[in-house]
Amino acid sequence: MDLLNTLVDKGLRRELPSREEALAVLATSDDDLLDVVAAAGKVRRHWFGRRVKLNYLVNLKSGLCPEDCSYCSQRLGSTTGILKYTWLKPDDASKAAAAGLAGGAKRVCLVASGRGPTDRDVDRVAGTIKAIKEQNEGVEVCACLGLLSDGQAERLREAGADAYNHNLNTSEGTYGEITTTHTYADRVDTVTKAHAAGLSACSGLIAGMGESDEDLVDVVYALRELDPDSVPVNFLIPVEGTPLAKEWNLTPQRCLRILAMVRFVCPDVEVRIAGGREVHLRTMQPLALHLANSIFLGDYLTTEGQAGKADLEMIADAGFEVEGTGQVTLPEHRANAGGGGCGSTAETACGSHEGAGCGSHEGAGVCGSAPAASTPAASTPPVGEPRTDLVAVRRRGAGTDLAPNA
């Protein structure tokens, strides 16, 4: 297919595809899907080999968010029944992080619900970062705390944070339909502040909220212009109790096409499969590893994810390898560009929204969740029906007395 040959050539040269080419990827047929994956896979392997970076979320403060993001289970007035708790103590957060690091993660993403941190909150997170780094040698830390005020990004950098996540989520043209308590420009401003402070910027999107192909291309092109080191791609988890609970618009094939489009537009950037991979990609998750070079390990902010052991087995069975702590994530030209980039010794990347999410959507607090082991096969809905059986509220790990999934 001439389109795919052109896109591979452009990806290897880091040349921006045209909007028409990006839209054409999303419009390809299921018959051409494996060709699309193979083409985008060439670009992925050129810049990242067969390495898969593992990231681990720690929800420092869950629920009770004053923002009205339609996709989020932690939003104002949420009736989703998620865990609700105030700030974890630094030692508790460090213990939670240690579980993910023991499972193979090299990056910890510290997330807190809310519009944005107060100066006291920044001090609190600074203490948590210090505790994690003192107790876990070589760990990378990304903070995801919402909208930043002047000077806060610099303070987080001084405290030892390597990266900051704040997702654009959707196109500027449709942002007001998703959230009314802050603006698209507010989000761009926070990503810009993180960049300027020398933090590695992480910013991504949520697909499946009823947006058009044009909206998806708009937000990915906007992300390319912002030039984050990491782009998390979240797939909406339509959680009961949120305004988007009935938006089951994604198929595994659609998700793969979206990931391929993102890879072609952002060829040398860490592309992470974030929230919703278990729910929407399901058994096609291994194919997505040919497009993205990063995933979250274990559970998400407010929902359960695939078992950490299953994640590791999937990576190995698909012929990929877990990226080690001594390996640089980003290609040399980005890692050496400064700013603590994702892939320099202080790499980056985290993407998840959730009120203030980090790297992982959290539409349900986003993120995907695997069915409980006890779910009977007979309960699986017919083909094409919403897979509500794959969405489970997190009841373990941070904020509970139960061991985390890592």
In a domain, 126, yes or no: yes
* CATH (domain of 312): 3.20.20.70
**Within-domain flag for 89:** yes
Instruction: Give the chain's mean pLDDT.
Output: 89
Helix (H) or strand (E) holding 380: none
Q: Using the predicted structure, report yes or no on whether residue 20 has a pLDDT greater than 90.
A: yes
What whole-number distance in Å separates Cα of residue 197 and Cα of residue 154?
5
Q: Could you tell me the two tokens for 225?
A: 């212009």
What is the predicted pLDDT for the residue at 344? 37
Task: Give residue 146's identity as a one-letter amino acid code.
Answer: G
Q: Residue 357: inside a domain, yes or no?
A: yes
**280-318: pLDDT as tens digits:** 999 999 999 999 999 999 888 888 889 999 999 999 999
Is the model's pLDDT at 350 over the cut of 90?
A: no
Number of domains in the chain: 1
Q: What are the tens digits of pLDDT across the range 206-264?
A: 999 999 999 999 999 999 999 999 999 999 999 888 999 999 999 999 999 999 999 99
- The pLDDT of residue 270 is 98
The pair phi, psi for residue 142, each rounded to 5°, is: -115, 130
To the nearest 10 degrees (0 to 180), the angle between helices 33-48 and 2-12 is 10
> What is the band of 5 on the pLDDT scale with cuts at 50, 70, 90?
very high
Task: Provide mean pLDDT across the span 367-384.
Answer: 49
Higher pLDDT pick, 175 / 341? 175
Given a cut of 80, is residue 25 above it in pLDDT?
Answer: yes
* Residue 4 included in any domain: no
DSSP letter, residue 303 = B
With respect to residue 13, please indicate whether it lies within any of the assigned structural domains.
Answer: no
Model confidence at 80, in pLDDT bands (50, 70, 90)? confident
In this prediction, residue 338 carries a pLDDT of 59
Separation CA 62–CA 84 (nearest Å): 5
Between 217 and 76, the higher pLDDT residue: 217
Please tell me the distance from the alpha carbon of residue 115 to that of residue 93, in angstroms, as a whole number. Answer: 21
Close Cβ partners of 54 (under 8 Å, ≥ 6 residues apart):
100, 103, 104, 105, 106, 107, 294, 295, 296, 297, 311, 322, 323
- Give the span between the Cα atoms of 266 and 103, in whole angstroms: 28
Q: Give the pLDDT confidence score for residue 1 in this predicted structure.
A: 79
Whether the per-residue pLDDT at 376 is higher than 70: the answer is: no
Contact at 8 Å (CB) between 264 and 223? Answer: no
User: What are the structure tokens assigned to 285, written together?
Assistant: 């998750």
Residue 305 domain-assigned?
A: yes
What tokens does 2 get? 């001439």
Cα–Cα distance, 78 to 63 (Å, whole number): 8
Closest CA to 320 of 49, 16, 135: 49
Domain range enclosing 206: 19-325+336-390
In a domain, 201, yes or no: yes
Task: Write the pLDDT tens digit of every residue in 28-37.
Answer: 999 999 999 9
One-letter identity of residue 131? A
Q: What is the mean pLDDT of residues 127-151?
A: 93
Residues 199/161, Cβ–Cβ less than 8 Å: yes
Q: Which amino acid is at 7?
A: L
| pLDDT surpasses 50 at 358 | no
Q: Is residue 56 part of a domain?
A: yes
Q: How confident is the model at residue 379 (pLDDT cuts 50, 70, 90)?
A: low
User: 3-state secondary structure string, 213-280?
Assistant: HHHHHHHHHHHHHHCCCEEEEEECCCCCCCCCCCCCCCCHHHHHHHHHHHHHHCCCCEEEECCCHHHH
> What's the whole-number mean pLDDT along residues 75-81?
79
**What residues are annotated to the active site?**
65, 69, 72, 109, 142, 202, 272
Nearest CA to 31 out of 1, 61, 54, 6 is that of 1
Residue 90's alpha-carbon distances to 102, 124, 155, 332, in angstroms, are 18, 8, 17, 34
pLDDT beyond 90 at 82 = no
